[in-house]
Chains A and B, each alone.
Chain A
Amino acid sequence: GQQVMQIPQYQHVQEGEDFTTYCNSSTTLSNIQWYKQRPGGHPVFLIQLVKSGEVKKQKRLTFQFGEAKKNSSLHITATQTTDVGTYFCAARDDKIIFGKGTRLHILP
């Protein structure tokens, strides 16, 4: 069945450093979504990627969808303390499956 792997599980960075999380699927996806969940909060939708090779930017966040539509990445440039949280990818094939998330800690 469809599997979604997200790495790394945890990431500690100094404030101002960059951060990247990766999402890999065992099957070709129709689309992929990214969510952010603050500690104690609920997932908040960030973006959806649909096209092969698609790149979208939101301020310091850059999202990519692989050419084969099996992988995706989220890159944050110059992290800030407000970026703390867990970032999830959600892959949609015939079902919607969330990755286990990457928990981002920012060291001041």
Chain B
Amino acid sequence: EAEVAQSPRYKITEKSQAVAFWCDPISGHATLYWYRQILGQGPELLVQFQDESVVDDSQLPKDRFSAERLKGVDSTLKIQPAELGDSAMYLCASSLWSGGQETQYFGPGTRLLVL
């Protein structure tokens, strides 16, 4: 069964450093999401892509976060500079619409620890 791939699975960095996360969605899925999940909380949407276009990035802290999906396939989320409060799980999801229903498939996530 096809899965959403994410790398790295774990990342430890020092504050003020730059970090980047990669996501490869399920083939054929046009919609891609990046979420941040703090321990004990639900996922918080950061950015939504439809193909290569940003649909919603209203919750993305644009002073330090950026996201791109240049060819409408895989995507990169970058944080520069990282802050202590950025420690969280970063989840990527891709979705398929069928019969009026959207099904989101989540990747395993990248767990970020900022020291």
Using a CB–CB distance below 8 Å, which chain A residues touch chain B?
6, 33, 35, 41-45, 48, 50, 88, 90, 95-101
Size class of B's contact patch?
20 to 34
Q: Which 8 A-B pairs have the closest CB atoms?
A: A98-B42, A42-B106, A98-B43, A48-B101, A43-B106, A88-B42, A100-B42, A45-B103
Given the known A-B contacts A42-B108, A43-B91, A95-B56, are A88 and B43 also in contact in the complex, defined by CB atoms under 8 Å?
Answer: yes
| Cα separation A48 to B44 with both chains bound (whole Å) | 18
Contact among B56, B91, B103, B107 with A48 in the assembled complex (CB-CB below 8 Å):
B103
| Cα separation A41 to B93 with both chains bound (whole Å) | 14
Residues on B with beta carbons closer than 8 Å to the beta carbon of A50 = 100-101
Residue of B nearest to A46 (CB): B103
Name 6 interchain pairs, CB-CB below 8 A, sorted by A. A42-B107, A43-B91, A88-B42, A95-B56, A97-B45, A99-B42
Residues on B with beta carbons closer than 8 Å to the beta carbon of A44 = 106
Interface of B is mostly: strand
| Cα separation A45 to B48 with both chains bound (whole Å) | 17
Q: Smallest distance from the beta carbon of A42 to chain B beta carbons, Å?
A: 4
B65 close to A (CB within 8 Å): no
| Cα separation A30 to B42 with both chains bound (whole Å) | 20
The digit string for B99-113, where 1 denotes a CB below 8 A from any CB of A, is 011111111110000
Residues on A with beta carbons closer than 8 Å to the beta carbon of B109 = 42
Q: What 16 new A-B contacts, CB under 8 Å, besides A6-B42, A42-B109, A43-B106?
A: A33-B102, A33-B104, A41-B108, A42-B108, A43-B91, A43-B104, A48-B101, A50-B100, A88-B42, A90-B42, A95-B45, A96-B33, A96-B45, A99-B42, A100-B40, A101-B42
